[in-house]
């Protein structure tokens, strides 16, 4: 049986390096003492680039913690495995982490359908899952489970930030294109409602299946709609394809493109095609607060580049988890859960409050514009507006807003 | 916009997509025609082409160079694979090919990830191709016109190659009766390696040409292989003209289907495939096999 | 036969000696084994190469998920009802697909599976669209039976289904009907000339294969607690076909071993390296080059020597 229970080599290695980083491997008495964080993360396939960003943020955080005094005097050990974005793998791997490696804390699950598959199992596993990027509004709404927490910005919150910005803009008529995916529909509903509330006109929306390669019929529809602004709820390859083709059609010359999330991965991929895009941002390296300045400086020293959106968002989730563990003085799921509720943390995005009613982190929202700056290889998002947490966060268990 | 100009513009859109689908499908159908194997790794060569094209364009600074270098390297990889791994399997059943090409998909996909990383990459277009022309007062990308033209040129070139050259004759003969060609003293193995390389090269050409529109990404392969299957199935396995016809048909159904019935965008292609197969089980121009 | 009994006893005793998670893994392996075995009826015995067997799995999983979420049907009934539904759908699919032969048959099955995939994305009320169905319960019953809710209890349910299905398939392929199937595999025109309605036989075997595939999907949904579009994806169909070939087609037991091998290999490799796909692929290529008859063939050769 001993071979069966052996710790996989990667886990062992990561804990050894963690210990080594902490100074000769002597400071931690036993590897078994480590706080294990399970990360069933998508590293290969279409969402691999987002998962890789999130993993890097977690590794950076673990390294920082282990380089100081650890967490509760214990080192952090990351248990990282690739799910290839398939929920069947995610559930199996998460369960293995819980049952074989004794993991009680999970994070870094990339796709919403993976998160939705894992969430109902958390009570049975007696484990806490802290989302690092999952945007689906339902995770803190109808699908909420007691052991799920979302310190990151949700999809509806990103949309709300853009909508608030639009209230002050002269644009009157809007159209939308979203991924034919739960997230796309959710966010588009929020956007439509917000536009109508602002007394403006929502002309309609169209949804493209994931994996769409030719956006010309959609671009035609957007042009014909007569809208002044077009709202995009697209991600990954679909987003890159749309932006590239929209640029080839010069769509942005007549219609302002707006998006729920501006991520640097997309900007770097499509280059100039992203210039002029205005959208919500979950995190920007340019945010002006002491925690972020320290984070950006340390990150640049480590990796020689600025942290990107998913990195900042996942990092904040790690910090929130860290604060909860410190407050609980334990990694016991029940204790961490009660410590997490009403927890207030000042992190890279400023103040985050984990409200007890639906486990959503209340936090500020940002709107950015993608611009070209001399001396920079890629266009960069710059913050054009910031909205306080009470205007961005939806009412408890809801995906829409009242005012 | 009036209906007629709208129709013309959409037809151009459809033709540009047809060209991409044709590059993808024709290689698969040629390979099937000669070797009777379903190349599961075809989409992976399409993706490989895009990444190779990116590097070639990046190093040389020329899109045109990428257009030539990407397919040639990918075709070389394909031919090497045929010689090294497929050739020993010709006496075995189709299932062996399925497994080996499936294995190749995984291996090549992961090598691509290791070499180029997980982030999508963009091939930037030369100014002439990144420009626009005004059709009925609306901007239209010259790149799409270029794609449509490239599709027509390559289709004619392949057709002439198959009809007029000795190698083309051999290819057609081998697809009908490999043993007879072998008995005539022709090196059938060489024909097979050649056509496998050409097929993979054509897929890679499609990949290089698609990259400026969709970026080179690891998700390309899985997306492309199913498209390639659909083209080959609708056109008829092994039929060159069939793949051309199918590419045009699918592109038109997708462009107009998506425009008028966006809710059925995903299902349209498969409905078309089912419909064609129910009427003609061997595909439009294929024999039932 | 003796080996079989020993294997069955070992499997029955497994949860007692294995650590908990190993039982969970084994349960999933057996579910996939059932799926691969059901495909073997088509591929190995009748030479109907289905390229869309994920359709059966997905249909079974969605049907079972919906029954458990929306009705009060006890777990075993929901599972068997889902298998029956899949079998009935299978008759329709078979009726269309058997219009064609050879590669065209494969492609028609692929077209059907992809169409279902597209429908699953759109029919939100039944399939939950892109999110799928989550939180599928293992309902108590019948007669207040709670054993199936536990890890080991569920394992025995799966094992029971697999053994039952194997016994059924074994009887089937050795029956006169099985002989006709082999006749179709070797030489269909000759079988027709002997006076058999081969089309009807093919429809029957496709429907049976769908039913058993549906059974395995129905077992998966409450096991994992969710069902989503990935279960219907064409890539999964290809993987199941490869499980059958790796295990050894036309042997019923081989595909079960092949499925377990495929799943466990991927699972274990991905624990050690991000490049698991590279090694996974190399192992496949090596396998087909050096072990043409699959795992079962390798095993048989050993035993004979």
- How confident is residue C180, by pLDDT bands cut at 50, 70 and 90? very high
Contact A44 C272 (CB under 8 A): no
β-bridge mates for residue A129, sequence order: A106, A148
Residue B40 has phi, psi (to 5 degrees) of -65, -25
Domain ranges of chain B: 15-218
The answer to whether A138 touches C132, Cβ cutoff 8 Å, is no
Q: For residue B130, which residues of chain A lie inside 8 Å, CB to CB? A: 248
Cα–Cα distance for residue pair C70/C225, rounded to 1 Å: 14
The per-residue pLDDT for A7 is: 43
Contact C118 B85 (CB under 8 A): no
For residue B263, pLDDT over 80 is answered with yes
Q: For residue A210, which residues of chain C lie inside 8 Å, CB to CB? A: 130
β-bridge mates for residue A362, sequence order: A353
Q: For residue A254, which residues of chain B lie inside 8 Å, CB to CB? A: none
The b/e string for B190-208 (b: 16+ C-beta within 10 A; e otherwise) is ebbbbbbbbbbbbbbbbbb
C192 touches chain A (CB under 8 A): no
The answer to whether A51 touches B117, Cβ cutoff 8 Å, is no
The per-residue pLDDT for B1 is: 59
Contact A181 C276 (CB under 8 A): no
Closest CA to B113 of A267, A110, C275: C275
Q: For residue C135, which residues of chain A lie inside 8 Å, CB to CB? A: 119-120, 143
Contact B103 C285 (CB under 8 A): yes
What confidence tens digit (pLDDT) does each residue in C79-88 have? Answer: 999 999 999 9
Contact A249 B218 (CB under 8 A): no
Q: For residue C280, which residues of chain B lie inside 8 Å, CB to CB? A: 103, 106
Cα–Cα distance for residue pair C96/C202, rounded to 1 Å: 11
Which top CATH class is A156-281+365-392? Answer: alpha beta
Residue of B nearest to A48 (CA): B118
For the CA atoms of B200, B201, B205, B211, the dihedral, rounded to the nearest 10 degrees, stands at: 60
- How confident is residue C302, by pLDDT bands cut at 50, 70 and 90? low
Cα atoms in the Cβ-side hemisphere of radius 13 Å centred on A234: 29
Cα–Cα distance for residue pair C251/C247, rounded to 1 Å: 8
Poorest-pLDDT segment among A83-87, B183-187, B214-218, C184-188 = B183-187
The per-residue pLDDT for C280 is: 87
DSSP B192-256: HHHHHHHHHHHHHHHHHHHHHHH-B-TTHHHHHHHHHHHHHHHH-TT-HHHHHHHHHHHHHHHHH
A117 touches chain C (CB under 8 A): yes
Shortest Cα distance from C271 to chain A (angstroms)?
6
- Is residue C53 situated within a structural domain? yes
For residue C12, pLDDT over 90 is answered with no
Determine the residue among B265, B267, B268, B271 to mutate to test chain A binding: the one whose Cβ has the most chain A Cβ atoms within 10 Å. B265
Pairing of strands A128-130, A35-41: unpaired
Cα separation values, C38 from B82, C213, C265, Å: 32, 6, 21
Q: For residue B114, which residues of chain C lie inside 8 Å, CB to CB? A: 275, 278
Cα separation values, B143 from A249, A275, B133, B268, Å: 10, 20, 10, 26
B5 touches chain A (CB under 8 A): no
B253 touches chain A (CB under 8 A): no
Closest CA to B44 of B85, B105, B118: B105
Same fold, A2-153+288-362 and A156-281+365-392: yes
Shortest Cα distance from A83 to chain B (angstroms)?
15
Shortest Cα distance from C74 to chain A (angstroms)?
20
- Quote the ipTM score: 0.92
Contact A113 C21 (CB under 8 A): no
Measured over the CA atoms of residue C68, residue C71, residue C72 and residue C74, the dihedral's sign is negative
DSSP A299-358: HHHHHSS---HHHHHHHHHHHHHHHHHHHHTS--HHHHHHHHTT-EEEETTEEEEE-TTT
Q: For residue C129, which residues of chain A lie inside 8 Å, CB to CB? A: 181-182
Query: Contacts from B65-74 at CB under 8 Å and sequence distance 24+?
Result: B66/B123, B66/B208, B67/B205, B67/B208, B67/B209, B70/B204, B70/B205, B70/B207, B70/B208, B71/B201, B71/B202, B71/B204, B71/B205, B71/B208, B72/B201, B73/B204, B74/B45, B74/B48, B74/B49, B74/B200, B74/B201, B74/B203, B74/B204, B74/B207
Question: DSSP 3-state assignment of B132?
Answer: strand
Give every strand in the sheet of A344-347, ordered side by side.
A344-347, A350-354, A361-362
The per-residue pLDDT for A340 is: 94
- How confident is residue C204, by pLDDT bands cut at 50, 70 and 90? very high
Angle at A53 between CA A302 and CA A300, to 5 degrees: 20
Q: Say which CATH architecture domain A2-153+288-362 belongs to.
A: 3-Layer(aba) Sandwich (3.40)
- How confident is residue B4, by pLDDT bands cut at 50, 70 and 90? confident
Q: For residue B124, which residues of chain A lie inside 8 Å, CB to CB? A: 271
Cα–Cα distance for residue pair A314/A312, rounded to 1 Å: 6
Q: What is the mean pLDDT of residues C186-203?
A: 91
Determine the residue among B5, B13, B120 to mutate to test chain A binding: the one whose Cβ has the most chain A Cβ atoms within 10 Å. B120
C131 touches chain A (CB under 8 A): yes
Q: Which residue in the set A10, A87, A143 is minimally distant from C272, CB to CB?
A: A10
The per-residue pLDDT for B74 is: 95
Pairing of strands A173-179, A201-208: parallel
Determine the residue among C54, C226, C275, C279 to mutate to test chain A binding: the one whose Cβ has the most chain A Cβ atoms within 10 Å. C226
The per-residue pLDDT for A387 is: 92
Poorest-pLDDT segment among A138-152, C27-41, C269-283 = C269-283
Share of chain C above pLDDT 70, in %: 98
Chains with 3+ CB–CB pairs under 8 A to B are A, C
Shortest Cα distance from B113 to chain C (angstroms)?
9
Contact A119 C270 (CB under 8 A): no
A290 touches chain C (CB under 8 A): no
The per-residue pLDDT for B288 is: 60
Q: Which residue in the set B122, B138, B222 is minimally distant from A270, CB to CB?
A: B122
Cα separation values, A182 from A185, A313, C69, C208, Å: 5, 21, 20, 35
The per-residue pLDDT for A377 is: 83
Residue of C nearest to A85 (CA): C230
Q: For residue A208, which residues of chain B lie inside 8 Å, CB to CB? A: 258, 262, 265
B44 touches chain A (CB under 8 A): no
What confidence tens digit (pLDDT) does each residue in B27-62 have? Answer: 999 888 877 778 889 999 999 999 999 999 999 988
Domain ranges of chain A: 2-153+288-362, 156-281+365-392
Q: Which residue in the set C100, C118, C284 is minimally distant from B102, CB to CB?
A: C284
Q: What is the mean pLDDT of residues C107-122?
A: 87
Q: What is the mean pLDDT of residues B60-88?
A: 92
Q: What is the mean pLDDT of residues C241-263?
A: 91
Contact C102 B104 (CB under 8 A): no
The answer to whether A367 touches A283, Cβ cutoff 8 Å, is no
Residue of C nearest to A94 (CA): C21
For residue C186, pLDDT over 80 is answered with yes
Q: What is the mean pLDDT of residues C196-216?
A: 95
Q: For residue B120, which residues of chain A lie inside 8 Å, CB to CB? A: 49, 237, 240, 265, 269
Contact B226 C234 (CB under 8 A): yes
Give the helix, strand, coil percentages of chain C, each rounded to 5: 80, 0, 20
Cα–Cα distance for residue pair C80/C215, rounded to 1 Å: 7
Outline where DSSP puts E strands in A95-191: 105-107, 128-130, 148-149, 173-179
Shortest Cα distance from B146 to chain A (angstroms)?
13
CA diameter of chain A: 69
Cα separation values, C180 from A52, B34, C92, C103, Å: 54, 32, 21, 21
pLDDT tens over chain A, length 403 residues:
333 433 444 444 444 444 444 444 445 444 448 999 999 999 887 788 889 999 999 999 999 999 988 899 999 999 999 998 889 999 999 999 999 889 999 999 998 889 999 999 999 999 999 999 988 888 898 889 999 999 999 988 999 999 999 988 889 999 999 988 888 888 899 999 999 988 899 999 999 988 888 999 999 999 989 899 999 999 888 899 999 999 999 998 889 999 998 988 889 889 888 999 999 999 998 888 999 999 999 999 999 989 999 999 999 999 999 999 999 999 999 999 999 999 999 999 999 999 999 999 999 999 999 999 888 888 989 899 999 999 999 998 888 888 7
Structural domain tally of chain C? Answer: 1
Q: Which residue in the set A82, A88, A120 is minimally distant from C270, CB to CB?
A: A82
C94: tokens are 């078979």
The per-residue pLDDT for A264 is: 86
User: What is the residue range of C133's domain?
Assistant: 25-235
Residue of C nearest to A119 (CA): C135
Residues 6+ apart with CB under 8 A from A336: A104, A105, A128, A324, A325, A328, A330
Q: What is the 3-state secondary structure (H, E, C) of C125-160?
A: HHHCHHHCEECCCCCCCCCCCCHHHCHHHHHHHHHH
Q: Which residue in the set B6, B217, B265 is minimally distant from A209, CB to CB?
A: B265
Q: Which residue in the set B85, B109, B274 is minimally distant from C115, CB to CB?
A: B274
């Amino acid at each position: 049986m001993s071979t069966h229970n052996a710790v996989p080599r990667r886990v062992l290695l990561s804990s050894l390096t963690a210990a080594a980083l902490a100074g000769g491997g002597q400071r931690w008495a036993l590897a078994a003492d480590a706080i294990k964080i399970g990360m069933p993360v998508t590293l290969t396939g279409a969402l691999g680039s987002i998962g890789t960003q999130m993993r890097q943020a977690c590794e950076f955080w673990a390294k920082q913690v282990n380089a100081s005094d650890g967490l509760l005097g214990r080192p952090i050990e990351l248990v990282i495995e690739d799910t290839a974005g398939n929920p069947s793998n995610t559930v199996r791997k998460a369960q293995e982490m819980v049952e074989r490696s004794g993991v009680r804390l999970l994070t870094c699950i990339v796709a919403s359908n993976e998160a939705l598959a894992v969430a109902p199992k958390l009570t049975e596993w007696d484990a806490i899952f802290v989302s690092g990027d999952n945007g689906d509004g339902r995770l803190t709404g109808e699908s909420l489970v007691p052991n799920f927490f979302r310190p990151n910005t949700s999809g509806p919150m990103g949309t709300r930030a853009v909508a608030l910005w639009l209230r002050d803009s002269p644009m009157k008529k809007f159209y939308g294109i979203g991924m034919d995916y739960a997230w796309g529909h959710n966010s588009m509903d929020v956007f439509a409602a917000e536009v109508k509330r602002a007394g403006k006109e929502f002309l309609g929306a169209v949804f493209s299946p994931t994996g769409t390669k030719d956006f010309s019929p959609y671009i035609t529809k957007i042009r014909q709609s007569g809208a002044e602004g077009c709202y995009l709820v697209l991600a990954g390859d679909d987003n890159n394809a749309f932006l590239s083709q929209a640029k080839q059609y010069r769509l942005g010359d007549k219609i302002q493109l707006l998006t729920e999330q501006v991520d640097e991965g997309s900007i770097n991929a499509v280059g100039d095609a992203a210039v002029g895009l205005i959208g919500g941002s979950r995190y920007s390296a340019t945010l002006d607060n002491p925690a972020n300045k320290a984070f950006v400086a340390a990150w640049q020293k480590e990796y020689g580049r600025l942290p990107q959106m998913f990195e900042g968002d996942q990092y904040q989730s790690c910090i929130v988890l860290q604060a909860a563990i410190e407050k609980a003085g334990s990694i016991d799921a029940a204790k961490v859960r009660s410590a997490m509720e009403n927890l207030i943390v000042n992190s890279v995005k400023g103040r985050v409050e984990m409200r007890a009613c639906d486990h959503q982190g209340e936090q500020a929202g940002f709107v950015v514009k993608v611009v070209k700056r001399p001396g920079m290889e890629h266009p960069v998002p710059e913050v054009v507006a910031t909205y306080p947490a009470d205007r961005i966060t939806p009412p408890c268990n809801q995906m829409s807003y009242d005012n | 916009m009036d209906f007629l100009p709208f129709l013309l513009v959409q037809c151009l859109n459809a033709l540009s997509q047809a060209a991409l689908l044709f590059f993808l499908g024709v290689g698969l159908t040629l390979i099937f025609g000669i070797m009777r194997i379903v190349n599961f790794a075809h989409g992976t060569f399409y993706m490989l082409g895009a990444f190779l094209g990116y590097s070639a364009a990046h190093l040389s600074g020329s899109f045109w160079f990428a257009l030539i270098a990407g397919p040639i390297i990918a075709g070389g990889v394909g031919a090497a694979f045929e010689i090294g791994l497929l050739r020993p399997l010709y006496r075995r059943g189709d299932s062996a090919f399925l497994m080996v090409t499936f294995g190749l998909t995984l291996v090549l996909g992961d090598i691509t990830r290791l070499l180029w990383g997980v982030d999508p990459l963009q091939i930037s277009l030369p100014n002439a191709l990144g420009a626009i022309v005004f059709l009925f007062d609306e901007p239209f990308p010259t790149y799409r016109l270029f794609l449509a033209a490239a599709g027509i040129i390559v289709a004619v070139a392949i057709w002439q190659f198959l009809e007029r050259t000795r190698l083309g004759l051999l290819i057609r003969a081998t697809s009908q009766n490999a043993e007879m060609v072998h008995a005539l003293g022709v090196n059938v193995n060489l024909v097979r390696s050649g056509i496998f390389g050409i097929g993979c090269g054509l897929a890679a050409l499609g990949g290089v040409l698609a990259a400026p529109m969709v970026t080179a990404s690891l998700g390309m392969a899985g997306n492309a292989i199913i498209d390639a299957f659909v083209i080959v199935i609708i056109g008829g396995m092994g039929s060159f003209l069939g793949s051309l016809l199918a590419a045009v048909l699918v592109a038109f159904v997708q462009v107009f289907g998506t425009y008028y019935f966006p809710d059925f965008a995903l299902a349209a292609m498969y409905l078309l495939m089912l419909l064609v197969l129910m009427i003609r089980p061997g595909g439009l121009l294929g024999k039932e096999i | 036969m003796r080996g079989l009994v020993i294997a069955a006893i070992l499997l029955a005793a497994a949860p007692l000696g294995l650590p908990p998670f190993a039982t969970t893994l084994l349960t999933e392996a057996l579910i996939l084994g059932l799926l691969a075995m059901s495909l073997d009826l088509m591929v190995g015995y009748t030479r109907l190469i289905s390229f869309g067997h994920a359709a059966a799995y997905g249909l079974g999983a969605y049907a079972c998920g919906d029954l458990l979420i929306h009705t009060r049907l006890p777990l075993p009934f929901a599972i068997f009802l889902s298998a029956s539904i899949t079998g009935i759908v299978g008759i329709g699919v078979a009726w269309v697909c058997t219009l064609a032969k050879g590669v065209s048959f494969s492609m028609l099955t692929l077209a059907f599976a992809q169409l279902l995939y597209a429908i699953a994305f759109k029919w939100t009320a039944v399939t939950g669209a892109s999110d799928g169905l989550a939180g599928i319960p293992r309902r108590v019953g019948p007669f207040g039976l709670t054993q199936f809710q536990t890890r080991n209890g569920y394992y025995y349910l799966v094992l029971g289904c697999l053994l039952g299905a194997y016994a059924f398939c074994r009887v089937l392929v050795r029956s006169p009907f099985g002989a006709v199937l082999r006749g179709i595999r070797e030489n269909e025109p000759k079988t027709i000339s002997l006076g058999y309605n081969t089309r009807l036989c093919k429809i029957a075997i496709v429907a049976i294969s769908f039913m058993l595939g549906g059974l395995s999907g129905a077992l998966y949904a409450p096991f994992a607690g969710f069902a989503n579009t990935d279960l219907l994806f064409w890539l999964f169909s290809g993987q199941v076909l490869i499980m059958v070939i790796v295990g050894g087609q036309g042997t019923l037991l081989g595909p079960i071993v092949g499925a377990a091998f495929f799943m466990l290999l991927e699972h274990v490799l991905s624990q050690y390296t991000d490049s698991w796909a590279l090694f996974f692929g190399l192992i496949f290529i090596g396998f087909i080059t050096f072990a043409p008859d699959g795992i079962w063939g390798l095993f048989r050769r050993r035993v004979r020597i």
